[in-house]
Structure 1
């Protein structure tokens, strides 16, 4: 795509020359995930030899003459070495060609939608999705003249039926938030591509350690890096990862033009977090499995939603496309909404709070917290639902806490 069409500037020009990542996934081909997680983007500092890349907490860069950029950097909205390092890391972990880091997951989604869509376009969204994503479509994107409709993304035929001549993307969360639904990524890629539309997969719940959507045919992966990628509840961020260089350039232009970029320190925190992603996800998954099994036999629990359980409707697909089943567990409580709220209030080791994916365990009531924006819509969640983000504490302690919270 030409510079004239995209509005991008060429190297040496100002206001928009976003440097591409300084290394690509090919450099790490053949290495195991944990090796890539530790080394991709983590080049020792050439000045001091520091094994951890420095935080370039800088807004602007000295130019060697007008337009003479050192390393391609001119202004940190357009590009920053610390952000470039985490973008290289994220691209390598997802097996993508290009990653872009943002100030939040919703900022990443916003950039993607503004790049993909024009007035009159249409998107298929899941019937179970993060409340903030639903709010973005229902309250923001719709004001641009963009239409959306809801489909059960666990049913490829339902997605096919929802696609119209104006559809530009099929949006998927798998596992979904908060009902832990599973969608067959490869099957949906076939449906989307047959219709000439892109498949977008929010991989936040699984992380690239457990699931690789791009390898299964997805066009774009979305992350809230706030969650498992950061892993320590100390950063807010988002990311997009793509396999197409031209589309990556379009996204980079919009990222620079709109400005919701990840800051240097936030980028550094995510880069720190991904180094331990593999070992953390193993422990998250082990603990979540034990808790889900306990809940399955508890007399106060009417339903357990965890893809690792053999009776979960998406279990076979999850086992096919995921390495393990993740750290998120939802369950429904006998006694309705008030009973679910009381369970949340009685938890002690599980902290009552929004978000997920940190080393510490969290509990929440989605209907009143993270998914309140979906109330009254096709995405409204049951009032008796409790969602757990299972951390990496002692599993015995976590099980005891959930049992006492249930009463």
Structure 2
């Protein structure tokens, strides 16, 4: 199947007992067993649930994996990946990553003996130079949050595996989605999604995903999933699966609108800089063109007035763009990273990364582009 068909049919089948076209919500915690050790493949919903199975099969299909796993949130999926490791193991992550991942790395797992290194991943050697005999995981995020930096997945995976083929490559594919890039095809071992965002697409569910294609890795992840218990519930699975069925058409419009917004902001006299991988002056535009099918629905920019007051005025003036956490829904949202998504970063780190008081992150929805541009114009003016 091609991708647009996979989002609707990939990994799916009609429900066996009734023929239901849409997998139903199996709102049950347990399952009848006719005899000890005899069941129909389900025993207890923390271990497996038919609604979750349907979603997990869809996750695997759209990412060209063999096994998908649904978690209670994206950060619960990150937690599962780190539980694959042991005290003393080392992880190399990008400097410009989601603040929640940074917080989990440094404030939770560091005290349990994991060691984290944060590198500028613009070049593969910046990663390989940090690898030691204890390195077990490389954590990539591309495009990154919030400055939309691009990491060359294939180059870093290839360079890392040459040093040590046992090092795991994990990619946060939340911003790109499999509509734009498929990290498993580029050498990654694990894909993570905050499926709350584009995969679900309607701002009505919190859910996370992991996808792999290695059998032993799948077994290890499934053990952690049911042993730790951070599973996605059946209603959340139903909503996420419904969202995936329109992922391809939504992403097409997200990308179209984001390009128009980025090109508009570049020309605006009150805007200092625009971060969007589709712009030719983006530092990794060439890699983005090679690695991605399009450039996504996220745009970040800085105002020329580098102060909180100017940013606040713009945010409060906007009408269609809603100030809110999260992203990837059908409606356009804006975020103020310095005090929202990246509030947990130390101030010194924010300054180094360029997360300033004038930085605003936009999640471009699928509204009419003329209305979005008019809203930006009146908010800026």
The TM-score range, normalised by the shorter chain, is over 0.9
- Describe how 1:356-375 pairs up with structure 2 within 5 A: 356-375=327-346
Q: Give the equivalent residue in structure 1 for 2:297.
A: 327
Partners of 1:337 and 1:354 lie apart in 2 by: 21
Residue 48 of structure 1, CA deviation: 2.2
How many correspondences in the alignment?
Answer: 375
Cα distance in 1 between the residues matched to 2:251 and 2:80: 28
Q: Is the 8 A contact 2:338 2:350 kept in 1?
A: no
Deviations 1:3-62 (A, max 9, x none): xxxxxxxxxxxxxxxxxxxxxxxxxxxx11111110124322222222101110000000
Structure 2 residue aligned with 1:20? none
Q: 1:127, 1:379 within 8 Å by CA — same for their partners in 2?
A: no
Considering only aligned residues, what root-mean-square deviation do their CA atoms show, in Å? 1.0
Q: Distance in 1 between matches of 2:208 and 2:217?
A: 18
1:272-308 alpha-carbon deviations (Å, 9 max, x no partner): 0000000100000000000000000111111000000
Q: 1:219 aligns with which of 184, 189, 201?
A: 189
In the TM superposition, residue 102 of structure 1 has moved relative to its aligned partner by: 0.2
Q: Does 1:388 align with 2:359?
A: no
Matched, 1:136 2:104: yes
Q: Distance in 2 between matches of 1:190 and 1:109?
A: 23
Deviation at 1:377, TM superposition (A): 4.9
CA separation of 1:377/1:241 partners in 2, compared to 1, >3 Å: closer, same or farther?
farther
SS of the residue corresponding to residue 336 of structure 1 reads coil
> Which runs of 5 or more residues in structure 2 are unaligned?
none
Return the alpha-carbon distance in structure 2 between the equivalents of residues 289 and 230 of structure 1.
Answer: 22
Counterparts of 1:8-407 in structure 2, within 5 Å, are: 31-70=1-40, 72-115=41-84, 117-196=85-164, 197-338=167-308, 339-378=310-349, 381-407=355-381
3-state DSSP of counterpart to 2:307: helix
157-166 vs 323-332, which deviates more?
157-166
Q: Is the 8 A contact 2:11 2:60 kept in 1?
A: no
In 2, Cα distance between the equivalents of 1:349 and 1:187?
40
Question: Aligned equivalents of 2:307 and 2:160: distance in 1?
Answer: 37
SS at match of 2:117: strand
Runs of 4+ in structure 1 over 4 Å off: none
Q: Distance in 1 between matches of 2:350 and 2:72?
A: 26
SS at match of 1:373: coil
Report the 3-state secondary structure (helix = DSSP H, G, I; strand = E; otherwise coil) of the residue aligned with 2:83: helix
Return the TM-score normalized by structure 2. Answer: 0.97
Give the alignment's TM-score, normalised by structure 1: 0.91
Note the alpha carbon deviations across 1:113-142, whole angstroms, 9 max, x for none. 001x11111101111010100000010010
Contact 2:334–2:362, Cα closer than 8 Å, also in 1: yes
Asked if the contact 2:250/2:366 (under 8 Å) is kept, the reply is yes
Aligned counterparts of 2:320 and 2:132: Cα–Cα separation in 1: 48
Unaligned runs of 5+ in 1: 1-30
